[in-house]
Amino acid sequence: MIVLPTGIRETILERARDGTPAEICGVLGGEYDPDGRSRVASQYPARNVADDPRTRYEIDPEQQLRLFDRLEDSGEAIVGFYHSHPRGPARPSATDAANATWPDRSYVIVSLEPLEIGSWRWRTGSDGADAPGDRFEREQVVVE
């Protein structure tokens, strides 16, 4: 389960609307629990540097490192990541699964058509990265 404050939810939705037709992306900070309830306390927008930002996202690697440092300095954990699907559902695409690299973190996806926010945890197989058991597992989103 991921707890998303109303204000952060609205900020992400606004960014997704403003960023259309491109996918927007960012990092979520707060209290992280790999098996239970994570609570988002902050969101950090990031530049999408994907070759085709209308259908893919890639967080600028240098900016991502700076954001991780900022989270560490503030005492927050990396809860996960978010991005939008301006014309698709709020579920991971095959590309999202191929590019997922943070086990047990939340991947929040915003769909604009229809308007929906979904969250998924990346679970890895017992053999580590790129194992046959790797998959996204849907988690409940609680907005408060």
Q: Say how far apart CA 45 and CA 14 lie, in whole Å.
A: 12
Cα 39 from Cα 74, distance rounded (Å): 15
The answer for residues whose C-beta is within 8 angstroms of residue 6's C-beta and 6 or more apart is 143, 144
* 23 catalytically annotated: yes
Q: Compute the half-sphere exposure of residue 65: CA atoms within 13 Å on the CB side of its CA.
A: 2
Q: Which two tokens stand for residue 90?
A: 């709020």
Q: What is the DSSP string of 62-89?
A: HHHHHHHHHHHHHT-EEEEEEEEETTS-
Is 26:71 a contact under the CB 8 Å cutoff?
Answer: no
Catalytic residue (choose from 23, 58, 76, 139): 23
- Annotated catalytic residues are 23
